[in-house]
A = this chain, B = another copy of it.
Amino acid sequence: MTSQLRPLTLHDLDLICRQRNDMFRTMDMPEDLIARMAPAFRAWLQDRLSDETYFGFMAELGGQPVGGIGLMEIEFPPHPAHPDTSRRGRILNLFVEPEARGQGIARQLVEASESEFRTRGLTYAVLHAMDMSRPLYEKDGWRGTAEMEKVLIPDRSPATGHLVIAQPDGHPNHYTNWQKQSRT
C-alpha cells in the first residue's frame, strides 16, 4: 500500500513535535534533553508553521499519519554549489512510525521534498541524517559534507570530571556526553 502525502498545516503542530521527540529517541538521546528542548521547539515551530517558513509533508496510510518531513528555505552565502543565489533548502525531522517502516515511506517523503524544492527554484539542499537514514539518503544521491560543530562554554563537572555545558540557568546540557556515547 502506498502512503498518501499531504502538505503540513498548523494543525500538525503537536504531531510534528511528537514525531521529532521520537526521532531523537531513536538516536538514544537522553529523555531530560528531549524534554528540555520540547517547549522551545514547539514555540519556534508554531511561528514557523504560521508564516509557512516551515513546510513539508505528512504521510498517511488509511487516513492515519505514519510519518512526516519538514522543509525550510535557508540563507547561505552564494557558494560553489549554488553560485548565483544565497538560497538553499534544508530537510529536517524525517520520521516514519516504527510499524510503518520498510514500505518506502521515507523515500517517498524525501523525493516529494526534493521535488518541492525544485518547484521553489532551490537547486541545493542539506540535512542532518540519523545513522538509520543514511543509507537511504546515499542511495538517493546525498553525500556527507565537511560540517563540524562545537559546543561553546564548556566546563568540567566537579562530580564526574566529564565535560558538561553550563547553561545560563546552571542546568547542565548533556549533548556533548551523548555525542561521545553515540558515536563511539
Q: Is the CB of B81 within 8 A of A151?
A: yes
How many chain A residues touch B (CB < 8 A): the figure is 62
**B86 engages A40 (CB within 8 Å):** yes
Mark out the residues of chain A between 98 and 123 whose CB falls within 8 Å of any chain B CB in the assembled complex.
114, 117-118, 121-123
Residues in chain B near residue A29, CB distance under 8 A: 80
User: Are the CB atoms of B149 and A145 closer together than 8 Å?
Assistant: yes
> Which chain A residues (106-150) contact chain B, with CB distance < 8 Å?
114, 117-118, 121-131, 134, 137, 140-150
Q: Is the CB of A165 within 8 A of B78?
A: no
- Asked if A7 lies at the interface with its beta carbon under 8 angstroms from chain B, I say no
Contact of A147 among B128, B141, B173, B175 (CB under 8 A): B128
Q: Which of A83, A122, A123 has the most CB of B within 10 A?
A: A83
Which of A80, A85, A167 lies at the interface centre, i.e. has the most chain B CB atoms within 10 A of its CB?
A80
| Chain B hits for A114, CB < 8 A | 150, 152
CA distance A48 to B45 in the complex (A): 26
Which of A122, A134, A151 has most B Cβ within 10 Å? Answer: A151
Residue picked from A78, A130, A165, most chain B C-beta under 10 Å: A78
A93 to chain B, nearest CB (A): 8
Further pairs besides A33-B83, A142-B149: 12, Cβ < 8 Å: A36-B83, A40-B83, A40-B86, A44-B77, A44-B78, A81-B151, A123-B153, A123-B173, A124-B149, A129-B148, A144-B148, A145-B149
Q: List 21 A-B contacts (CB under 8 A).
A: A29-B80, A33-B80, A34-B80, A40-B86, A41-B77, A80-B173, A81-B149, A81-B175, A118-B153, A121-B168, A126-B149, A128-B145, A128-B146, A129-B146, A129-B147, A129-B148, A131-B146, A134-B148, A143-B148, A143-B179, A145-B148
